[in-house]
Amino acid sequence: DIHMTQSPSSLSPSVGDRITITCRASHSIGNYLNWYQQKPGKAPKLLIHSASSLQSGVPSRFSGSGSGLDFTLTISTLQPEDFATYYCQQSYTSPVTFGQGTTLEI
Amino acid sequence: EVQLLESGGDLVQPGGSLRLSCAASGFTFSSYGMTWVRQAPGKGLEWVSSGSGVGTYYADSVKGRFTLSRDNSKNTLYLQMNSLRAADTAVYYCARVRSGYTYGPGDYWGQGTLVTVSS
């Protein structure tokens, strides 16, 4: 199985900060890397697919990069509504696996 | 508008069975792969199963106990869950697999249905 490791596990940023979350795969996954945002009690929301493609309707302050083993999610200017938990996911092969999550705490 | 509505979650005893449903609308259901993802209370996301035209796939933790199926005439996805364990307690989400992919990403998600396995 491909193991996905996210870092950090949590952050306490301020509105307006630039945020970077990293995700490392235990084996190369090409660009089959997706990022989700989840707020408490809500379903996950797809932000980025194929490592760097912004999902329709997602604000442009979100961006993704990387390929192979190492990936990043960047929020250029943190907004109040961005405080949430973020997950990376590899969809390169079965079993699909998620990172453990990164929580942005107020 | 794409909508996914899960149902069927309940309290069930260990060893019991349950069938979850996911009713889809707003898109051509038969043209998309679908996936189930679960989230145990206070925990992260765990992939359960995905199904598309090329096959059906399961997490090791549910293989042999859970079965993914679909009725394209009813625009409905199912997850038959047998031999349930306490570790299966979670909110179960269905999601549409983005066009062109086999296992994910899920681009639209339902609101989730809670399965509780307890005596």
Q: What pLDDT digit, counting tens, does each position of B43-97 carry?
A: 999 999 999 878 999 999 999 999 999 999 999 999 999 999 999 999 999 999 9
Distance CA A67, CA B14 (A): 42
Indicate if the alpha-carbon torsion angle B96, A78, A82, A85 is positive or negative: positive
Cβ B81 vs Cβ B9: under 8 Å: no
**CB within 8 Å: B45 and A89:** yes
Record the tokens describing residue B90, joined without a space.
């979670």
CA distance A45 to B93: 12
What pLDDT shows up at residue B99?
Answer: 87
How, if at all, do strands A102-104 and A10-11 pair? parallel
Q: pLDDT tens digits for chain A (106 residues)? A: 999 999 999 999 999 999 999 999 999 999 999 999 999 999 999 999 999 999 999 999 999 999 999 999 999 999 999 999 999 999 999 999 999 999 999 8
* CA A61 to the chain's CA centroid: 13
Tell me if chain A has a CB within 8 Å of the CB of B27.
no
Pairing of β B113-117 and β B11-12: parallel
Residues from chain B that touch A37, judged by Cβ atoms under 8 A, are none
Residue from B22, B38, B47 whose CB has the most chain A CBs within 10 Å, to mutate: B47
Q: Is B101 in the A-facing interface, judged by CB distances under 8 Å?
A: yes
CB nearest B44 (choices: A43, A49, A101):
A101
Residue B108 has pLDDT above 80, yes or no: yes
B57 vs A34, A94, A99: nearest CB: A94
The CA distance from B103 to B53, in Å, is: 11
Nearest CA in chain A to B51: A94
Contact by Cβ (8 Å): B80, B66: yes
The pLDDT score that the predictor gives to residue B100 is 84
DSSP state of A24: E
